[in-house]
Amino acid sequence: MKMRHIVVGLGFVVVSLSVCGFAAPGLAQERAVIVPSSPDEARQQAAVFAFLQEYFSALAQGEVEKLAVYHPSLTPEQLGILRDYFAHTIRDLHIRLQGVRVEANANTATVVFYRTDRFIDWPTSRLVEKSIRLSTMLVHDASGWRLGGLDQVAFALGTSSTRMS
């Protein structure tokens, strides 16, 4: 019985660490971790945080068809660039958003956060980590939250529409 409690307790520690982003890479299963600036922020903006989790999970896994739903303005050429990017440029992408703050107004929301991407560079097989503070606009319509621009995929498209704050 004691052994079961130790194993269960260890499991909670590993899950807690991986959710917070401190577990060893082999232990962390989440490809996208979203950390609100406060628990109240997460409760008050639950729908926005659910969208962020869905979107950044799809981005981290390179699910281009899902990204097309969140970015209806992507052209077939841009979708091809994204497919190529995920197939030949990076692998094992992990995204962490930290200190996420949401300012919602009617059908829009401005989201400010620190984003850290950790991935393996395909050509060199080197581990790369990049961090930046970003601000992005979300728009709410009949189908839910969507990104108001292409700033979260600009890195792959070779554009410079990312806004820094």
For residues 1 and 110, the model is more confident at 110
Phi, psi (rounded to 5 degrees) for 89: -110, -45
pLDDT value for 24: 41
What's the pLDDT tens digit per position in 104-158? 998 999 999 999 999 999 999 999 999 999 999 999 989 889 888 776 666 566 6
pTM for the whole thing?
0.75
In one letter, which amino acid is 81? I
Would you say residue 51 has pLDDT above 80? yes
The domain defined by 31-157 folds into: Nuclear Transport Factor 2; Chain: A, (3.10.450)
Give the count of beta carbons closer than 10 Å to the beta carbon of residue 78: 20
Helix, strand, coil percentages in the chain from 3-state DSSP, rounded to 5: 40, 35, 30
Contacts for 160 with CB less than 8 Å, ≥ 6 apart: 154
Whole-number Å distance between alpha carbons of 164 and 114:
10
Q: Which residues contact 56 (CB under 8 A, 6 or more apart)?
A: 32, 34, 95, 97
Phi, psi of 157 (to 5 degrees): -85, -10
